[in-house]
Amino acid sequence: MTRLAYLHEPGVLRNLKSRYGMNEIYTYTGNILIAVNPFQRLPHLYNDHMMEMYKGAEFGELSPHPFAMADRAYRLMMNYGISQAILVSGESGAGKTESTKMLMQYLAFMGGKVESGGRSVQQQVLESNPVLEAFGNAKTVRNNNSSRFGKFVELQFDQNGKISGAAIRTYLLERSRVCQISDPERNYHCFYMLCAAPPEDRERYKLGDASLFHYLNQSNCIKLDGMDDSSEYIATRRAMDIVGISSDEQDAIFRVVAAILHLGNVEFSEGSEADSSVPKDDKSQFHLRTAAELFMCDEKSLEESLCKRVMVTRGESIVRNLDSRAAALSRDALARIVYSRLFDWLVNKINTTIGQDPTSKLLIGVLDIYGFESFKTNRVSSSSVST
């Protein structure tokens, strides 16, 4: 790009377009790699043979490629003993997560240890992707599998350049999506997966079709072309096994997911006292009872926590009734906070299983932060991510 005679926007775009027309989706501009989403699988670009080619090749000697970026970071770290960071940024749907996976694939190839038994750190980092995607990705207008959280993966290396530990840190999970979605978007994948689980699991969590749940049926998009939620459920369970989440823990996780769906179906009507509220009807009472069972808490306490507010002042606490609108808001607030705690728990669990190397002085971090989006109505959470 820097060799263009006139470096201006039309020239840059024309260059990218003509390269894209020749299936050259990557272009350098100085040390930066520009990736244009091909929207088709190009397996020949990412196989072992390609990784062998880029290994140790001078930067710029071969065609632009994420492997070249990862190789450069690895070499700089090894030659100068300085930790490196790679920032992957772009609009939603641009291909950041795919590029991040390729960077990780190459770093795992260079720094991977051959384990005699068990799974290596690099395998576990790569295998944590499907779990995080099930709980942190959703269909948006631009991307059927959009990451709704930022992710910083830190790979720790020993003196020989072998991966000795890793940590995954996540940022800014989009909590509002748990309770509020609009056409043609979807909520987080895990909700639909669980509604499409084998009958015995659906029975255990008292679930039915996804379209029965308020947190899912606000949008007409329930099924996704090319994604079979029932096989994704099985695949996610398998991925959870691999990252060391026991079957009891998996049951607890899905209990919470199901409880959130039931909670969302609890509607409120005005109670007998002024400005008070109660579950609207038998249906709401059933969902409240089921949510309490799944959360393993007392039904009455759950109802009170939704329909009343406790204000603690110095020395005393005051209980105030909430009207039906305010009760619905506190229901949504509870769903959001529980889901985001569940997500944080998953990330912690994955980190514990992968294992850290506190002695490591050489790190490569890859930051994949979710992309800019501009809607008709922009919420505070989306604008704070986008700025």
Ligand X SMILES: Nc1ncnc2c1ncn2[C@@H]1O[C@H](COP(=O)(O)OP(=O)(O)OP(=O)(O)O)[C@@H](O)[C@H]1O
Residues belonging to the active site: 92-93, 97, 143, 146-147, 371, 373
Instruction: Give the residue with the Cβ less far from ligand X, 95 or 264.
Output: 95
Q: Least distance (Å) from ligand X to the CB of residue 95?
A: 3
One-character DSSP codes across 106-166: HHHHHHPPPPSSS--HHHHHHHHHHHHHHHHEE--SS-TTEE-SEEEEEEEE-TTS-EEEE
Please give the helix or strand (H or E) that residue 366 lies within, else none: strand 362-368
Q: Nearest approach, Cβ of 45 to ligand X (angstroms)?
A: 7
Closest distance to ligand X from the beta carbon of 368 (Å) = 7
In this complex, which beta carbon is closest to ligand X, that of residue 27 or of residue 265?
Answer: 27
* In the complex, minimum distance from the CB of residue 326 to ligand X, in angstroms, rounded to a whole number: 33
Is 237 in contact with 250 (CB distance < 8 Å)? yes
CB of 136 to ligand X, least distance (A): 9
Report how far apart, in Å, the C-alpha atoms of 213 and of each of 216, 257, 262, 269, 310 are: 5, 12, 7, 19, 29
- In the complex with ligand X, the residue whose CB is nearer, 98 or 293, is 98
- The pair of structure tokens assigned to 62 is 């071969």
Question: Is position 273 annotated in a ligand binding site?
Answer: no
Q: Count other Cβ atoms within 10 Å, centred on residue 375.
A: 11
Determine whether the annotation assigns residue 95 to a binding site: yes
39/80 with CB nearer ligand X: 39
Q: Is 96 annotated in some ligand binding site?
A: yes
- β-pair partners for 379: none
Instruction: Judge whether 274 is annotated as a binding position.
Output: no
Neighbour tally for 382: CB within 10 Å = 18
| Residues with Cβ within 8 Å of residue 373, at least 6 apart in sequence | 91, 92, 140, 142, 382, 386
Other C-beta atoms lying within 10 Å of the C-beta of residue 100: 20
Backbone angles phi, psi at 82, to 5 degrees: -115, 130
Question: What whole-number distance in Å separates Cα of residue 201 and Cα of residue 334?
Answer: 24
Establish whether 264 is an annotated binding residue: no
Q: Which helix (H) or strand (E) holds 364?
A: strand 362-368
Task: Between 94 and 207, name the residue whose CB sits nearer to ligand X.
Answer: 94
CB of 145 to ligand X, least distance (A): 5
Which of 220, 209, 216, 214 is CA-nearest to residue 184? 220
91 carries a ligand binding annotation: yes
Residue 96 vs 331, nearer CB to ligand X: 96
The span from the CA of 83 to the CA of 18, in Å, is: 36
Cβ–Cβ < 8 Å for 295, 259: yes
Token pair of 20 as six digits: 């894209």
CB of 93 to ligand X, least distance (A): 5
198 prior amide bond cis, ω within 30 = no
By CB under 6 A, name the binding residues for ligand X: 37-39, 41-42, 90, 92-98, 143, 145-147, 370-371
Beta bridge partners of 363: 156
Nearer to ligand X, 169 or 300 (CB): 169
Q: 311 near 318, Cβ under 8 Å?
A: yes
Q: Which residues are annotated as a binding site for ATP?
A: 90-97
